[in-house]
C-alpha cells in the first residue's frame, strides 16, 4: 500500500504549473478550431463567410447598412464588404491598440458586448471576425470611416503592421478579405450554391438590404447574383410555397414590437400534408426550435379553435382541433429580434429565453384573430383544411390501430415477408429494403443472419407526396415496413423503438430501381425525417459492371471505373502477350524475329479487346448470393451512401417538384437538367 502511495506522489509531482499550457490571444482558436466553427470540414470552411457576413447583417439590422457584397476571388480568397458605419479605428482604452486590431485579435471583443453597440445581433457570441482572422493564412481589413480609408493586414491572426490611413473617403463601410489557412482546412472549396442559398435566406430576413454575390475565381466564367426583398418574410413564405396550391391567397403577416422584442411572422397554407416552419432569432436559424415556436403554435391552436367555434365551423359536440391539425400544410416564417438571446449550445440551434413564449403568443393571437375577421374567405379555406386534417388524423389513428392489432395477431408484430436477424440489440442490427422477391431471395441467402435482416418489396410503393397518412397506411408494402422498423408513425412515432440502427435501401441500377429508391426516400423524408437526421438511412451501392480477363475479375461502380478497369486489363494482357512473344523469339535471329514480332503485335491488340468480358448488372437478381454478399452486403468490402439533409428548404422544394401533383414545375426541372443526364435507360 505504501508503494502505491509513493507512485501516486511521483505522479502528482509530474503534474504541476509547468504542465498547464496557457494559450494567449487567438492560439486557442488555431489549436481547437472545432470549438469555434464546428469543425474543419466544408461546413466549418463556409462558417468563416457566415461570421463575416453576420457582422454586416448586424449593421443592417441596426439600420446603418443596406448593401452587402461577397466575392470569391482567385487563390481561395473571399471578400466581404458593406456600407455600414465601419469598424472603429481609434485606440481602445483597454488594449491600447486600435479598436480594429482589438476586434480582429481579441476573442469576445465587439460591439455586441457593449450596451449600446447593437440592440440585437447574430454572430457567434461576438467572436466571429477574430476567429476568421485566426484561421486565415492572410487577412486584410479596410475601413472607410472619419473621412479616411484605413487598412491593416494579418497573417494567421497576427498583425503584420500597425493600422494605416491609405487614402480618403466620403463613404463609410468595412471590407474584409481573407484566405483560409490550408494548415487548418484540409480542403478549401467554396460552394457557390450553398452561399447563394444562405444569402437568399438572409435577404428575406433583412428586408430592404441588397446582398450581391460574385464569383471571380475563373475570369472567363465570372458570374454574379443579387437579392433584394422589400417584402421581408412575406416574400420568403411566397418563395417557399411557389408551385403549390395555396389555401389563403392573402398571407397572414404581423410585424410588431412588444417589451423590446420585435416579432415578425408570415404564414400561408398550401395543399401539402407537412408543416414547414422556419424560425429565426436575430437572423440565426434555430433549427431545433425554441420558445418562439412554442408560443407561436399555442397561439395558432387557441385562436383557430376559438374562431372556428364562434363562426360555427366546429359544433358544440365536436372536439377541438389539435396542434397537429393546424400544422398540416402550414408554411410559416418566424423572425424575432431580441436584445440578449439565450441559445442552447455553441451552434445556436435552439432559443431558450422563457419570456419569448408569451410575447410571441400574445402578438400572434391578437394579429391572427384580426386577420381571420378581415379575410373571411381565407379564414374559411384555412379552417376547411384544418378540419379535413382532423378527420384524416382520426382515420390514420384507426389505420395505425389496425396495423398494431394485425401485427400482434400475426406474431410479434413482424410481417411474414421479413427475414429477421438473430441479434436483438438495435445498435448492432441493419435491415435491407430490397426490390423484388428475386433479389430478396439472393439477399436472404447471402446475408449474415446474425445482424442483417431482409425485407423484400413487391413493386413500387405509394407516392406519399400525394397521399395523406391514412391512405399511406393502407398500402401493404409501407405497412410492412412500418411494422418492421418498430417506430410507428405520425403522432405515435417513437425513434427509441427503432429495431435497426441502419436502414439500407437496395434497388436495381435501372430506371425502375431509381424510382423505387426515390419513393422510399420521399416516405422517409415526409414521415420519418428523424431517421434521416439521426443518420439511420443508407443507400446500398451494388456494382454496375463485372470486368473479367482470364481468371482475374473486378467489380466497378460507374462508367468511368469501367473504362479504367478495361484499360488496366488491356495493359496486363498486352504485357502478358509481350512476355510470351519474347520467349518464342528468344532463339530466333534477324529478319525472322522482326517478322514474328509484327504479327504478334497485331494479334495482341485484337486479342486485348476479345479477351476482356464486361458484364453489366441491371438487376440485383443477376448476382448469386455469394456475389451479392461480397460486393454489396459485406461490411468489410461494401460501399454505402448515408442519406443526409444539408438544406431542408431545398430538399423540400425538390421533393415537392419531382413527386408532387403539379406537372409544370416537374417539366421545367427535367428540361433544365436534361443536359446533365448520363446513362439514360429507356
Quick one: cell of 631? 460486393
Residue 669 pLDDT class (50, 70, 90 cuts): low
For residues 26 and 37, the answer to whether their CB atoms sit within 8 Å is no
Percent above pLDDT 70 for the chain: 81
pLDDT one-digit tens code per residue, 426-450: 999 999 999 888 888 889 999 999 9
Same domain for 418 and 319: no
Residue 557 pLDDT class (50, 70, 90 cuts): confident
pLDDT score at 654: 65
Is 196 among the domain residues?
no
Q: Indicate the SS3 state at residue 175.
A: strand
- Mean pLDDT, residues 88-108 taken together: 86
Is 202 among the domain residues?
no
Percent above pLDDT 90 for the chain: 47
Strands (E), 259-347: 261-269, 276-281, 284-285, 330-337
Residue 129 has pLDDT above 70, yes or no: yes
Same domain for 525 and 490: yes
Same domain for 283 and 150: no
Whole-number average pLDDT of the chain? 83
What whole-number distance in Å separates Cα of residue 232 and Cα of residue 204?
5
- Mean pLDDT, residues 533-552 taken together: 90
For residues 604 and 573, the answer to whether their CB atoms sit within 8 Å is yes
Mention every residue, 6+ apart, whose C-beta is less than 8 A from residue 409.
none
Same domain for 550 and 517: no
Positions annotated as catalytic residues are 435, 508, 510, 512
Same domain for 237 and 113: no
What whole-number distance in Å separates Cα of residue 667 and Cα of residue 339?
47
Residue pointed to by grid coordinates 488594449: 95
Is 348 among the domain residues?
yes
Same domain for 440 and 535: yes
For residues 206 and 61, the answer to whether their CB atoms sit within 8 Å is yes
Last residue of a domain, one of 571, 600, 616: 616
pLDDT one-digit tens code per residue, 490-502: 777 889 999 999 9
Q: Which residue has the higher pLDDT, 258 or 580?
A: 258
Is 585 among the domain residues?
yes
Phi, psi values for residue 337, rounded to 5°: -125, 125
pLDDT score at 253: 96
Please enumerate, as own/partner, the contacts of 467-475 that have beta carbons within 8 Å and a separation of 24 or more: 467/273, 468/273, 468/392, 468/396, 469/273, 469/392, 469/393, 469/396, 469/399, 469/527, 470/392, 470/395, 470/396, 470/398, 470/399, 472/523, 472/527, 473/396, 473/399, 473/400, 473/403, 474/399
For residues 380 and 387, the answer to whether their CB atoms sit within 8 Å is no
Q: In 206-329, which residue ranges form alpha helices assigned H by DSSP?
A: 233-240, 291-310, 323-327
Residue 344 has pLDDT above 70, yes or no: yes
Residue 603 has pLDDT above 50, yes or no: no
What whole-number distance in Å separates Cα of residue 676 and Cα of residue 654?
16
pLDDT score at 387: 92
pLDDT one-digit tens code per residue, 212-252: 999 999 988 899 999 999 888 999 999 999 888 899 999 99
Q: Which of 623, 621, 373, 397 is nearest to 492 (CA)?
A: 397
Same domain for 113 and 37: yes
* Domain that residue 487 falls in: 410-543+641-676
For residues 334 and 234, the answer to whether their CB atoms sit within 8 Å is no
Is 308 among the domain residues?
yes
Residue 657 has pLDDT above 70, yes or no: no
Residue 647's CATH number: 3.40.50.670
Residue 262's CATH number: 3.30.230.10
- Mean pLDDT, residues 115-132 taken together: 59
According to DSSP, residue 351 is labeled B
Residue 664 pLDDT class (50, 70, 90 cuts): low
Same domain for 178 and 46: yes
Region of residue 38 (left: phi > 0; alpha: psi -120 to 50; beta: else) = left
Residue 189 has pLDDT above 50, yes or no: yes
Residue 117 has pLDDT above 60, yes or no: no
Q: How many structural domains compose the chain?
A: 4
Same domain for 441 and 375: no
pLDDT one-digit tens code per residue, 294-332: 999 999 999 999 999 999 999 888 899 999 899 989 999
Q: Which residue has the higher pLDDT, 170 or 574?
A: 170
What whole-number distance in Å separates Cα of residue 659 and Cα of residue 661?
7
For residues 263 and 257, the answer to whether their CB atoms sit within 8 Å is yes
Same domain for 555 and 519: no
Same domain for 116 and 57: yes
Q: Which residue has the higher pLDDT, 141 or 664?
A: 141
pLDDT score at 461: 86
pLDDT score at 672: 58
Is 593 among the domain residues?
yes
Residue 31's CATH number: 3.30.565.10
Same domain for 516 and 553: no
pLDDT score at 376: 94
pLDDT score at 349: 78
Residue 407 has pLDDT above 60, yes or no: no
Amino acid at each position: 500500500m505504501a508503494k502505491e502511495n509513493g507512485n501516486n506522489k511521483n505522479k502528482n509531482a509530474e503534474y504541476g504549473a509547468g504542465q498547464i499550457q496557457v494559450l494567449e490571444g487567438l492560439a486557442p482558436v488555431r489549436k481547437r478550431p472545432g470549438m469555434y466553427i464546428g469543425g474543419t470540414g466544408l461546413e466549418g470552411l463556409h462558417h468563416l463567410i457566415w461570421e463575416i457576413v453576420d457582422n454586416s447583417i448586424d449593421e443592417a439590422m441596426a439600420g446603418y447598412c443596406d448593401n452587402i457584397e461577397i466575392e470569391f476571388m482567385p487563390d481561395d480568397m473571399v471578400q466581404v464588404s458593406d456600407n455600414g458605419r465601419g469598424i472603429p479605428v481609434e485606440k481602445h482604452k483597454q488594449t491600447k491598440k486600435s479598436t480594429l486590431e482589438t476586434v480582429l485579435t481579441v476573442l469576445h471583443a465587439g460591439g455586441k458586448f457593449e450596451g449600446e453597440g447593437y440592440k440585437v445581433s447574430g454572430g457567434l457570441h461576438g467572436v466571429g471576425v477574430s476567429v476568421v482572422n485566426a484561421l486565415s493564412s492572410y487577412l486584410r481589413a479596410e475601413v472607410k470611416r472619419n473621412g479616411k480609408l484605413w487598412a491593416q493586414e494579418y497573417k494567421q491572426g497576427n498583425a503584420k503592421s500597425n493600422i494605416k490611413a491609405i487614402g480618403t473617403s466620403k463613404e463609410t463601410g468595412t471590407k474584409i478579405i481573407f484566405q483560409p489557412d490550408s494548415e487548418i482546412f484540409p480542403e478549401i472549396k467554396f460552394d457557390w450554391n450553398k452561399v447563394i442559398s444562405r444569402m437568399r435566406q438572409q435577404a428575406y430576413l433583412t428586408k430592404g438590404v441588397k446582398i450581391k454575390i460574385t464569383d471571380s475565381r475563373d475570369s472567363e466564367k465570372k458570374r454574379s447574383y443579387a437579392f433584394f426583398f422589400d417584402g421581408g418574410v412575406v416574400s420568403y413564405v411566397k418563395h417557399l410555397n411557389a408551385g403549390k396550391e395555396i389555401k389563403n391567397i392573402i398571407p397572414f403577416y404581423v410585424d410588431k414590437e412588444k417589451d423590446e422584442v420585435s416579432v415578425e411572422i408570415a404564414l400561408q397554407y398550401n395543399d401539402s400534408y407537412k408543416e414547414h416552419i422556419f424560425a429565426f432569432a436575430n437572423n440565426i436559424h434555430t433549427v431545433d426550435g425554441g420558445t418562439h415556436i412554442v408560443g407561436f403554435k399555442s397561439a395558432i391552436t387557441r385562436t383557430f379553435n376559438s374562431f372556428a367555434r364562434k363562426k360555427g365551423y366546429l359544433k358544440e359536440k365536436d372536439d377541438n382541433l389539435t396542434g397537429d391539425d393546424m400544422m398540416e400544410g402550414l408554411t410559416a416564417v418566424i423572425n424575432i429580434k431580441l436584445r440578449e438571446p439565450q441559445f442552447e449550445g455553441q451552434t445556436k440551434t435552439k432559443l431558450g429565453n422563457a419570456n419569448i413564449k408569451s410575447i410571441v403568443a400574445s402578438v400572434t393571437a391578437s394579429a391572427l384573430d384580426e386577420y381571420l375577421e378581415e379575410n373571411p374567405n381565407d379564414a374559411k379555406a384555412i379552417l376547411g383544411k384544418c378540419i379535413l386534417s382532423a378527420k384524416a388524423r382520426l382515420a390514420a389513428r384507426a389505420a395505425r390501430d389496425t396495423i398494431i392489432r394485425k401485427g400482434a395477431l400475426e406474431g410479434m408484430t413482424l410481417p411474414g415477408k421479413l427475414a429477421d436477424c438473430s441479434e436483438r440489440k438495435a445498435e448492432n442490427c441493419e435491415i435491407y429494403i430490397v426490390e423484388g422477391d428475386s433479389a430478396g431471395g439472393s439477399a436472404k441467402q447471402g446475408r449474415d443472419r446474425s445482424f442483417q435482416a431482409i425485407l423484400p418489396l413487391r413493386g413500387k410503393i405509394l407516392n406519399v407526396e400525394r397521399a395523406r397518412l391514412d391512405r399511406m397506411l393502407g398500402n401493404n408494402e409501407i405497412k410492412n415496413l412500418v411494422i418492421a422498423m418498430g417506430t410507428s408513425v405520425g403522432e405515435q412515432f417513437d425513434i427509441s423503438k427503432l429495431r435497426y440502427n441502419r436502414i439500407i435501401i437496395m434497388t436495381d441500377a435501372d430506371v425502375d430501381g431509381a424510382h423505387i429508391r426515390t419513393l422510399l426516400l420521399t416516405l422517409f423524408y415526409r414521415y420519418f425525417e428523424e431517421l434521416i437526421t439521426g443518420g439511420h438511412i443508407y443507400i446500398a451501392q451494388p456494382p454496375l459492371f463485372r470486368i473479367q480477363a482470364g481468371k482475374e475479375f473486378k467489380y466497378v461502380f460507374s462508367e468511368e471505373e469501367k473504362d479504367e478497369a478495361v484499360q488496366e486489363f488491356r495493359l496486363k494482357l498486352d504485357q502478358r502477350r509481350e512476355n510470351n512473344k519474347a520467349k518464342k523469339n528468344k532463339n530466333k535471329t534477324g529478319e525472322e524475329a522482326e517478322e514474328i514480332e509484327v504479327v504478334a503485335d497485331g494479334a495482341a491488340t485484337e486479342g486485348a479487346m476479345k479477351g476482356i468480358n464486361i458484364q453489366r448488372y441491371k438487376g440485383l437478381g443477376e448476382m448469386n448470393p455469394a456475389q451479392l454478399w461480397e460486393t454489396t452486403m459485406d461490411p468489410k468490402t461494401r460501399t454505402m451512401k448515408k442519406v443526409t439533409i444539408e438544406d431542408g428548404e431545398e430538399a423540400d422544394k425538390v421533393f415537392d417538384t419531382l413527386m408532387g401533383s403539379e406537372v409544370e414545375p416537374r417539366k421545367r426541372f427535367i428540361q433544365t437538367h436534361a443536359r446533365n443526364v448520363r446513362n439514360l435507360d429507356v
